[in-house]
Amino acid sequence: MKTGLRGAFFPLLLATATVSGCTTTSGGVAGAAGAAVATGAGVYITALQGGLVSRNAGGAQLSKADMQRALEAEYRALEAAPGGQPVVWQGKGVSGSVVAAAPYQVGSQNCRQYSHTLTVGGWDTATRGAACRNADGAWAPLS
């Protein structure tokens, strides 16, 4: 598979930043890497088109900041988390956990199935889906 410098370099850079800034919380991956994701990967998060969290019934109750945290967690799970390892996030009165399965190939694209469990007001709701990496390195959801 051919990738341009940006397609090969950015995922490696993000993975390095994510690993170096991570802490483990309740068995999940979280941490300071969110700031790196927010500033360096805005276009990559935008490519998620609202992610699974936007399709979750509880997603409508999220503030803009909490929605950003949720999308960053989805991106980190797809980009760097080992299969089955939760990426957790915490907001104001809301939290979530994103778990990506092992990567698989569809043609020349890397893809992952994943789930996002959202906890709002003590209620858990889960949404499942899949995303594939585009040629530009961004993850795009499958419809």
Q: What is the pLDDT along the chain (143 residues), one digit of tens a residue?
A: 444 444 433 343 333 333 333 333 334 444 433 433 444 557 667 778 888 988 887 777 889 999 999 999 999 999 999 999 999 999 999 999 999 999 999 988 999 999 999 999 889 999 999 999 988 888 989 87
Q: Which two tokens stand for residue 14?
A: 């993000």
Query: pTM above 0.75?
Result: no
Find out whether 113 and 102 touch, Cβ atoms under 8 Å: no
Strand partners, 31: 22
**CA distance readout (Å), 121 to 99, 117, 118, 125:** 21, 13, 10, 11
